[in-house]
Amino acid sequence: MREKRRKNHQPWQALLPAVIVGASLLVNAMPSLAEKAEPAVQSKAPERLERQWETQGLRVPESVLYYEAEGEPYLLVSEIDGEGNKADGKGGIAKLSLSGEILDQDWVTGLDAPKGMAILRDTLYVADLDEVVAIRLKTGQVQARIPVEGAVFLNDVAIDDSGEVYVSDTRTGKVHQIGRGAGAELFLEGLEDPNGLYADGDTLYIGAGKTLLKVAADGQQETVATGFESGIDGVEKIGADEFLVTCWVGLVYHVKNGEVTRLMDTRDPRMNTADLGWNPVDGIAYIPTFFTNSVVAYRWR
């Protein structure tokens, strides 16, 4: 969802029994597809996302994660394959090539409503309703399930450079943290619909409602940007003070030095834009369309 700076980090072997993963969806706070968002406060800029390909036949894809294994890059896609708020065991993770070919749609099965993802060394962490699931990248086997006390709708995950894991809970307005060898602890509360997370060094970026926040390791908050027309779903940093941001209803934004520019609006054809993935090598964004059951690749230019 994150990788969220490729979401690859330095080894942290103590995390396995207590881990979390990330990214993104607002089912309870989700506007209906027919609902009109508030008037935009920013004008539409010339298109800067160039469509590359679309993979259809996925099962309610919610988040995409770009990663490399033994020098070979792949895409992982979390598939809810059911309702986004139910523990029904239908969810899983699909594996795609960078050209959009489905390599293994059942790479991981038996999850509930998987959303955001992040990687720490050789382990994938997935946010799955009220727990974080740790999955071995080499085999796709579940290694551990880490419950988050009081969680209702875990949505996205990010891991900072020190190995701290953060997971957002959209419905409770909280972000939880998992430290080395420890269980989940409360990091922040009182947020408005926290969803998309991105960790950069020891700084955490949070898409909270219609605001993009920057949060220091001590919890101090700073507003990066406002003016989004709907709740933020995915956040990817693509440069210095520069981000691509998606809103589930069908909106994609570019944020540069706090200035928000709308790049894409697919609300009229009812194509969602859920938790995007980012390929920093080729400059390509991968956007899951949720109910349209596809992932679309766009080159940033």
Average pLDDT over residues 190-212: 98
Exposure of 88 in the CB half-sphere (CA atoms within 13 A): 11
pLDDT at 44: 53
How many other CB atoms are there within 10 angstroms of residue 148's CB atom? 23
Q: Which amino acid is at 259?
A: E
Average pLDDT over residues 29-39: 38
Calpha distance 74→66 (Å, rounded):
6
pLDDT at 183: 84
DSSP 290: G
In this structure, of 20-29, 61-70, 123-132, the range with the lowest mean pLDDT score is 20-29
Domain-by-domain residue ranges, the chain? 5-43+63-230
Query: How does residue 47 score in pLDDT terms, banded at 50, 70 and 90?
Result: low
Average pLDDT over residues 208-216: 98
With contact defined as beta carbons under 8 Å apart, do 195 and 227 qualify? Answer: no
Dump the DSSP string for 173-196. Answer: TEEEEE-TT--EEEEE-S-SSEEE
For residue 13, pLDDT beyond 70: no
Determine the topology of domain 5-43+63-230 in CATH. Neuraminidase (2.120.10)
For residue 19, pLDDT beyond 70: no
* Torsion over CA: 235, 140, 147, 79 (sign): positive
Nearest to 234 by CA among 248, 223, 249: 248
Calpha distance 52→60 (Å, rounded):
21
DSSP 160: -
Calpha distance 102→154 (Å, rounded):
26
Q: Write out the two tokens for 199.
A: 């960790």
The answer to whether the predicted template modeling score (pTM) of the entire model surpasses 0.95 is no
Question: What dihedral angle (degrees, nearest 10) is formed by the CA atoms of 70, 75, 78, 79?
Answer: -120
Average pLDDT over residues 155-176: 96
Determine which helix (DSSP H) or strand (DSSP E) holds 143, and give its type and residue range: strand 142-147
* Torsion over CA: 229, 158, 146, 83 (sign): positive
Locate tokens 């996205």: which residue?
Answer: 156
Distance of CA 83 to the CA centre of its chain: 17
